Amino acid sequence: MKKYYEDKKYLSIVDDILEHSEFKKLGNYIHHGGTRLDHCIRVSYHSYKVCKFFHLNSKSAARAGLLHDFFFIDNLSLDIKTRLKVLVDHPKYACNNAKKCFKISKLEEDIILSHMFPVGIRVPRRLESWIVNLVDDFDAINERIINWIKQLSSAIRIINKQS
C-alpha cells in the first residue's frame, strides 16, 4: 500500500475521502480475502493511473474508485440468496453513501453505479466508468488467486509437517 501514499498528486485528490471517519470503517469488512478498504484503494489508484495515461478524467476515476464499494454490509454473514442481491444492489448503496458524505459529480455517480456491469444491469456510459469496472474485476480476481495460493501453500505446509 505504500506506493499509493507516496503519490502526492493522487493523495491531493482523494485525501478528504481517505480521512473521512465513515470511509475508514471499510477497513472492518472482509472483501475478496483482504479488507474492503484496501480493495477500494487499489481500484482507485490503478484506475487513476490508467486514466491519467490515457488523458481521461483521472480525478473522477480516483474518487469514484475509492467510493465504488462504500457500503457497510458484511457479506460473510449472509445466506447465498441475500449475498447475490447485495452483489447486484451494492452500487446503489455505495452511491447513496457517497452522496451523503461527499459531493460527487455525474461522472463519479456513473462510475459507482455501473462498476458491476454485466452483473449489474447499468451499462457504463463513459470510458472512465469502463476502466474502473475492469480494474475492479482484475483486482477482485487477483485477490482471489492470491488467497487461493496462500491457502494451498498453508495446506502443503501442514501435509509436509505430517510426513
Per-residue pLDDT of 19-41, as tens digits, reads: 999 999 999 998 777 899 999 99
Query: Quick check: helix, strand or coil at residue 9?
Result: helix
Q: Which residues are within 8 A (CB) of 118 and not within 5 positions of it... i.e. 6 or more apart?
A: none
Report whether the peptide linkage leading into residue 118 is cis, meaning its omega lies within 30 degrees of zero: yes
Per-residue pLDDT of 99-142, as tens digits, reads: 999 999 999 999 999 999 998 889 999 999 999 999 999 988 87
Per-residue pLDDT of 74-96, as tens digits, reads: 887 888 898 889 889 999 999 99
Q: Which class for 76: exposed (0-12), middle (13-18), buried (19 or more C-beta within 10 A)?
A: exposed
